[in-house]
Chain A
Amino acid sequence: MSNKVIQAIYNDDDVLLHAVKKVKAEKHHIEEIFTPFPVHGLDKAMGLEHTRLAICSFIFGCVGISVAATMMYYMMIVDWPQNIGGKPSFSFIENLPTFIPIMFEMTVFFAAHLMVITFYMRSRLWPFKEAENPDVRTTDDHFLMEIALHGNEKELTALLEETGAVEVIVSEKH
């Protein structure tokens, strides 16, 4: 089976959005769309599922606050319950107000960093990663839609040209 893809290049985000809706209506599966900036409503038009990164972040924040509370409870109340300036170190709750700033900071620290790392891992981004956009113009002012071909080259080309593509390329996927 040939592994061919068809790439339609647009030069306007509104034209692209209409094209996506049209291609979707014709029941074609859009493999990928590369854009130079976030086109609002594109994920909805493509039918992408919502990202769960915010949920991850919430969980990471919960981890952060637990780490902070456990650390300070152990160090200040359990391990060395000393009298430092008359601050009550008999129980966690008595000395709690001075623990709040660090509990807060560590919540933010964990929530922010672990979410960003999750994002980099899920989107496969790291320093020596090779860029995968098929056309360099897609980081400037062009928008590229990629659809897998299943022997319907003519029909698809016609459809894409009709939607306002400035260029339609058929190429072998590697």
Chain B
Amino acid sequence: MASHYEAPIREPLVTGDKTYHDVTVDVAAPVEGRANKQWWIVFSIALVAFLWGLGCIIYTVSTGIGVWGLNKTVGWAWDITNFVWWVGIGHAGTLISAVLLLFRQKWRMAINRSAEAMTIFSVVQAGLFPIIHMGRPWLAYWVLPIPNQFGSLWVNFNSPLLWDVFAISTYLSVSLVFWWTGLLPDFAMLRDRAVKPFQKKIYSLLSFGWSGRAKDWQRFEEVSLVLAGLATPLVLSVHTIVSFDFATSVIPGWHSTIFPPYFVAGAIFSGFAMVLTLLIIMRKVSNLENYITIVHIENMNKVILLTGGVVSVAYITEFFIGWYSGTNYEDYTYMSIGAATGPYWWAFWALIICNFIVPQTLWVKKLRTNYMWSFIVSIVINIGMWFERFDIIVIDLSKGHLPSSWTMFSPTFIDIGVFIGTIGFFFVLFLLYARTFPVIAQAEVKTILKSSGEKYKKLRDGNHE
């Protein structure tokens, strides 16, 4: 076992004396079993929320954007807030599967599959908003540079909104193939275990005839590595481009060079919070406590602490530069005295409390290794990061250069309904995923079993090999 040496200081990542076969059985169990009552209840709630949101979307598109709470000053509010929020959530998945792969972090293996699923499902939600917030969404295909009968009228490549189209579609499609390629060996495992002919057929189809040859694995690992190398700059660039929607404008509070890295840090911050929210529940309901352990939760909390720190530093920087610039207009931005005491004071303080203060509790080891507290903090961060985008968008727009244009924004129930609908759609997809997909990359977990499994660690500690 000398080839599997690991420093004794490292805690086991797979607890409970698991063998290779145990991993297979545990991962396959939720797929091969039947959904229980609670699953159906939660699924029904999510489905109803989704259908309600769908109704709101259809109503918006068929009646007009005027049914939302937008006005002539505040032309972006909940739509783009939700868009940026969902894109941000998606970023943790790629971070876990790509960046942590580049850094050879073994603890990623139990969580990467679900994190990537979360990425895909949340980018799908994000992708709805650029379409439905259009006044004429049926002409959305005009954003593509397709040769046409208008003398070949092209798009303008100077706009960050067009960069968004390229960024989001590249991000979604690359994440999808990355996820799917990683799924092939796991689908193959399900295929080879399936007893019902229908199940066998489905997983044969999904696994693309994966047979696990030595050469296949060699290529598989190279592909994973190169994709991780490509996905890492991709994840940084996508949220950078999303931040350009604001940073390249001339609006005070938006026009800021700190936005690209700050948005990316915020995206990882909120994304990890969402991964925590989902996995703390999933480890319980899918009986995966031996794979998603407190070590994983603590490591994710540490990443949250880091990125939360980066975000906090960015807030302070914004605040400082707002003052340092000597520009009067900066007084009204989301990071100023004016914002803290103005009409959106509650949104401002929600941001400060949720993103700045509460996550700092994770410095305490007792709290960051506590499931309940991690769960609460993760929810708080998700709320706080929604407010961050809301503050950036709405507070800055509501008080622009010209006082005669100053106004307030309040959402209508359609704004809210669409957002609830995307949350419902997300959970519909995620719940279906949790019952039909191998939620842990079992082929990857098996590679670390001997180095990080509790059973093998005990063996090593026993005979001091």
User: Which of A's residues lie within 8 Å of B, judged by CB?
Assistant: 13-14, 17, 32-43, 46, 48, 50-51, 53-54, 57, 71-72, 75-76, 79-80, 84-85, 87, 95, 98-99, 101-102, 104-106, 108-109, 111-113, 115-116, 119-120, 122-133, 136-141
Which of chain B's residues 20-39 have a Cβ closer than 8 Å to chain A? 20-21, 24
Candidates B210, B217, B225, B244; contact of A125 at CB < 8 Å = B210
Chain B residues positioned under 8 Å from A104 (CB to CB) = 233, 237
In the complex, A128 Cα to B166 Cα: how many Å? 31
* A105 CB to nearest chain B CB (Å): 4
Other than A46-B214, A105-B241, give 20 A-B pairs with Cβ distance below 8 A.
A32-B214, A34-B214, A36-B189, A38-B218, A40-B3, A42-B214, A43-B218, A57-B226, A57-B230, A102-B157, A105-B237, A108-B174, A109-B170, A116-B223, A116-B227, A125-B184, A125-B216, A131-B204, A136-B193, A139-B191
Chain B residues positioned under 8 Å from A101 (CB to CB) = 160, 163, 166-167, 237, 240-241, 244
Query: What bracket does the count of chain B residues touching chain A fall in?
Result: 35 or more
In the complex, A37 Cα to B21 Cα: how many Å? 12
B248: nearest residue on chain A (CB-CB)? A98
In the complex, A43 Cα to B209 Cα: how many Å? 21
Interface centre among B152, B163, B213, B221 (most CB of A within 10 A): B213
* A52 CB to nearest chain B CB (Å): 9
- Asked, given contacts A36-B446, A127-B208, whether A87 binds B158 with beta carbons under 8 Å apart, the answer is yes
Would you give 22 A-B contacts (Cβ < 8 Å), ordered by A? A13-B450, A36-B20, A37-B446, A50-B218, A53-B226, A72-B157, A76-B156, A79-B154, A98-B157, A98-B158, A99-B157, A105-B241, A108-B233, A109-B174, A119-B220, A122-B219, A127-B206, A129-B208, A131-B204, A131-B207, A140-B20, A140-B21
* Interface pair B173/A53, CB less than 8 Å apart: no
Chain B residues positioned under 8 Å from A109 (CB to CB) = 166, 170, 173-174
Candidates A39, A53, A136; contact of B223 at CB < 8 Å = A53
Chain B residues positioned under 8 Å from A125 (CB to CB) = 184, 208-210, 216
* Interface pair B189/A140, CB less than 8 Å apart: yes
* B242 CB to nearest chain A CB (Å): 11
* B11 CB to nearest chain A CB (Å): 22
* Interface pair A131/B211, CB less than 8 Å apart: yes
What mask results when residues 277 to 300 of chain B are scored 1 for a CB within 8 Å of chain A, else 0? Answer: 000000000000000000000000
* Interface pair B216/A123, CB less than 8 Å apart: yes
Candidates A72, A102, A126; contact of B208 at CB < 8 Å = A126
* Interface pair B217/A106, CB less than 8 Å apart: no
* Interface pair A84/B174, CB less than 8 Å apart: no
* Interface pair B212/A138, CB less than 8 Å apart: yes
Interface centre among A33, A50, A104, A138 (most CB of B within 10 A): A104
* B420 CB to nearest chain A CB (Å): 31
- Asked, given contacts A36-B443, A37-B443, A116-B227, whether A51 binds B218 with beta carbons under 8 Å apart, the answer is yes
* A34 CB to nearest chain B CB (Å): 5
